[in-house]
A = this chain, B = another copy of it.
């Protein structure tokens, strides 16, 4: 088993008055390490990497490494410009990250060759393992199996973070098997989209790159460990018990606003911890979130 398996927890990077709340961030990281997650991915989408300056990002990776103890830390390095990505990679290396996570951010749409060259350039210039971050909801770039395959052949590519899988177990297995067939064996496949995690893990994904795991690690570990011991039914049941939470992710337009509201509700992050212009949930939406948190016993 490589470190690119199991539960990788994605903490928020809480802001207060438009600056990183270092104490809150370190608290989230320590909480994840104490819970026993398999890795911590700082500066994922949930960690608002795209909104932060180079200096803020370098500092956040250092805080993550300091707070994580023996838990491996991966760092998001995506940026619109290749030279900026390379700068973030250098900073992640210097801070002690054990891998980097790279999404092909877009402003102008990118071609497949553009994205391949981005990964080729980055892997050529670092010894750190690179996780391919496929997140079309934020990047608006769509990978194909062919492109997965070309990129996964590059030295240093170690894992692919895929979007959600079909809910039906057989379809999920077909989906993961099709990706598995085109990437080398040493490259792990990690599911994201928390509502699909149980299905993805039971369908053959070796890892879960998890939003909810960054704030509510016990919940995510329960699903992960059930799937890892082959108990697909229990993993599915544990995930199904969280349906009200997954439904809020959909209803309120994505996971980050909901998970930020949960962290704020639990006192893990200051109020309005997302970078503006993201205002976060309305008061009425926050009350709904609090009700779900209490009903599911997530506030313990």
Contact = CB atoms under 8 A, between A and B. Distances in A.
Interface of A: 18, 45, 50-52, 80-83, 104-105, 107-111, 113-115, 117-118, 121, 137-138, 140, 253-254, 256, 275-279
A285 B108 CA distance: 18
Nearest to A80: B51
14 contacts: A18-B83, A45-B108, A51-B81, A81-B276, A82-B275, A82-B276, A108-B256, A109-B137, A109-B253, A109-B254, A114-B277, A114-B279, A117-B276, A118-B276
Most buried by B among A18, A115, A138, A276: A276
Contacts of A107: 45, 50-51, 105, 138
Contacts of A254: 108-109
Contacts of A137: 109
Q: A18, A107, A109 — which one has the most chain B CB atoms within 10 A of its CB?
A: A107
Contacts of A81: 18, 51-52, 275-277
Given A107-B138, A108-B45, A109-B254, A83 B276 contact: yes
Given A83-B18, A108-B138, A279 B51 contact: no
Contact of A279 (B111, B140, B256): B111
A253 B82 CA distance: 20
Copies per complex of this chain: 2
A138 B254 CA distance: 20
B277 A82 contact: yes
A121 B276 CA distance: 10
B109 A277 contact: no
Contacts of A113: 279
Given A51-B80, A80-B51, A81-B51, A278 B110 contact: yes
Given A81-B277, A110-B278, A117-B279, 12 more contacts: A18-B83, A51-B80, A52-B81, A81-B275, A82-B277, A83-B276, A105-B107, A108-B254, A109-B253, A114-B277, A117-B277, A121-B276
Nearest to A138: B107
Contacts of A117: 276-277, 279
Contacts of A278: 108, 110, 114
Nearest to A114: B277
Contacts of A138: 107-108
Contacts of A115: 277
A236 to B, nearest CB: 29
Nearest to A52: B81
Contacts of A253: 109, 111
Nearest to A115: B277
